[in-house]
């Protein structure tokens, strides 16, 4: 673009400008290559990652489609649109056909995916071959995770319904379970009770709606909640925080690591793969910075930026790759856990051979048998 602007200011007439611009475009790879780069930049600015998926998928698409052909895939739901679309995709793995007539229902995909897959070819709406293939395979991966699709005779991706208790066993426990949770034990009474509960709640909402300043409904019938205002600080909160901080002073992670190493010199497990003693100055200090940097997922570069002199990126990379292994990390972890088990508090948490750690939340799809809504993180997922 800078070169085009330069020629536009110096060209004498339109004919010279056109030839100079064409020469610039050809020198940069041609119009088609520049169009691909422009599309990528546009996608980044629009926060649209969908067009960027095909180059990643194209590398292994044939092997992936051949693998899926060998699997006996079935649906655990009555919706078979995804499998029908997959049958169409795997029939055209080597086809150079750019567009496919809209003969397949892609209602299983979100509206964003549908707008991406469906394109205009003149007056007709057709399906882009590449976009459809990526869309189908990504939704199949999601369906395998959620249990909507399963592979017969597999282990991790078998039909979850076959792992459920048979109804004959469930029926024996139904009465006791219903009494415990306060629900009806038969379908008719359950529906009646649920309808009464919903009607009661709806009447309560309707009666309080005119005076409700936090809920509004627009002309399209869409409800909107008003942002809640800040609640007043309870009396005595300042004194409570002061006492809490006095009993639980702030601790830095490096201080915690240093103190843990004082009681459990776990860095003794680290060292060269040959088994010899490390030939580096102040090895313990450098090992602790390595554990801190990689344990916090900062990496060598960020850790070195915030570390004192003597701790650099190359040193951290070398220690992590040549002095620390999975086996030595497990041995160091064992030392810390065994020392922690000596205290009285962990015994109230359960058995001594169990350690508890609060880690990072791993986001999972809501339509997943393993996903739970975590009360602390406020989202569906699992704790690493």
Mean pLDDT of 265-272: 92
| Per-residue pLDDT tens digits for 199-251 | 999 999 888 888 888 888 888 888 888 888 888 899 999 999 999 889 888 88
Mean pLDDT of 113-142: 87
pLDDT in the model for residue 36: 73
Mean pLDDT of 49-73: 88
Q: Does pLDDT of 351 surpass 80? A: no
Pairing of strands 99-101, 215-217: unpaired
Mean pLDDT of 169-192: 90
The residue among 315 and 52 whose pLDDT is bigger is: 315
pLDDT in the model for residue 97: 77
Q: What are phi and psi of 101, to 5 degrees?
A: -60, 145
Least confident of 27-31, 142-146, 356-360: 356-360
Least confident of 11-20, 135-144, 241-250: 11-20
**Cα–Cα dist 136/91, whole Å:** 13
pLDDT in the model for residue 21: 84
Q: Does pLDDT of 33 surpass 90? A: no
Least confident of 44-48, 80-84, 309-313: 44-48
Q: Does pLDDT of 55 surpass 70? A: yes
pLDDT in the model for residue 46: 63
Whole-model pTM: value is 0.47
pLDDT in the model for residue 290: 93
Q: Does pLDDT of 360 surpass 70? A: no
pLDDT in the model for residue 352: 64
**Cα–Cα dist 109/259, whole Å:** 53
| Per-residue pLDDT tens digits for 321-346 | 999 999 999 999 999 988 888 888 77
Pairing of strands 361-363, 223-225: unpaired
**Cα–Cα dist 336/101, whole Å:** 62
Q: How many CB atoms lie under 10 A from the CB of residue 381?
A: 19
Query: What is the pLDDT confidence band of residue 353, given thresholds at 50, 70 and 90?
Result: low
pLDDT in the model for residue 102: 61
Q: Does pLDDT of 143 surpass 70? A: yes
Q: To the nearest whole percent, how much of the chain has pLDDT over 70?
A: 89
Query: What is the pLDDT confidence band of residue 317, given thresholds at 50, 70 and 90?
Result: very high
∠ Cα 219 222 226 (to 5°): 105
Domain ranges of the chain: 2-47, 54-162, 253-348
**Cα–Cα dist 132/125, whole Å:** 13
Q: Does pLDDT of 155 surpass 70? A: yes
Mean pLDDT of 342-361: 70
């Amino acid at each position: 673009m800078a070169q085009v602007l330069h020629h536009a200011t110096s060209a004498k007439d339109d004919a010279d400008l056109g030839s100079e611009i064409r020469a610039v475009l050809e020198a940069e790879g041609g119009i088609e290559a520049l169009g691909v780069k422009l599309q990528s930049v546009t996608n980044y600015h629009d926060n649209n990652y969908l067009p960027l998926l095909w180059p990643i998928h194209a590398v292994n698409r044939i092997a992936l489609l051949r693998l899926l052909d060998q699997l006996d895939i079935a649906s655990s739901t009555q919706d078979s649109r995804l499998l029908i679309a997959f049958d169409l995709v795997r029939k055209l793995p080597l086809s150079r056909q750019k567009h496919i007539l809209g003969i397949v229902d892609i209602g299983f995909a979100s509206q964003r995916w549908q707008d991406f897959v469906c394109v205009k070819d003149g007056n007709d709406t057709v399906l882009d071959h590449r976009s459809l293939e990526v869309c189908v395979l990504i939704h199949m991966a999601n369906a395998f995770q959620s249990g909507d699709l399963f592979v017969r005779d597999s282990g991790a991706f078998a039909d979850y319904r076959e792992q459920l208790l048979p109804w004959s066993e469930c029926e024996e426990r139904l009465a006791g379970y219903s009494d415990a949770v306060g629900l009806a034990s038969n379908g008719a009474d359950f529906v009646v009770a649920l309808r009464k509960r919903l009607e009661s709640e709806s009447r309560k909402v309707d009666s309080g709606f005119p005076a409700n300043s936090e809920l509004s409904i627009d002309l399209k019938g869409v409800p909107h909640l008003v942002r809640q205002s800040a609640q007043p600080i309870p009396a005595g909160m300042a004194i409570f925080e002061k006492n809490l901080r006095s009993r639980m002073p702030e601790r830095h992670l490096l201080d915690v690591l240093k103190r843990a190493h004082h009681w459990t010199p776990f860095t003794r497990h680290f060292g060269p793969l040959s088994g010899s003693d490390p030939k580096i100055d102040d090895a313990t200090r450098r090992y602790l910075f390595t554990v801190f940097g990689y344990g916090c997922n900062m990496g060598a570069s960020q850790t070195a930026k915030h570390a004192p002199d003597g701790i650099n990126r190359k040193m951290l990379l070398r220690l992590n790759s040549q002095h620390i292994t999975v086996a030595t990390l497990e041995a160091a972890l064992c030392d810390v856990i065994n020392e922690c088990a000596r205290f009285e508090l962990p015994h109230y948490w359960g058995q001594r051979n169990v350690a508890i750690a609060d880690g990072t939340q791993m986001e999972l799809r809501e339509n997943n048998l393993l996903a739970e809504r975590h009360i602390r993180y406020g989202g569906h997922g699992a704790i690493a």
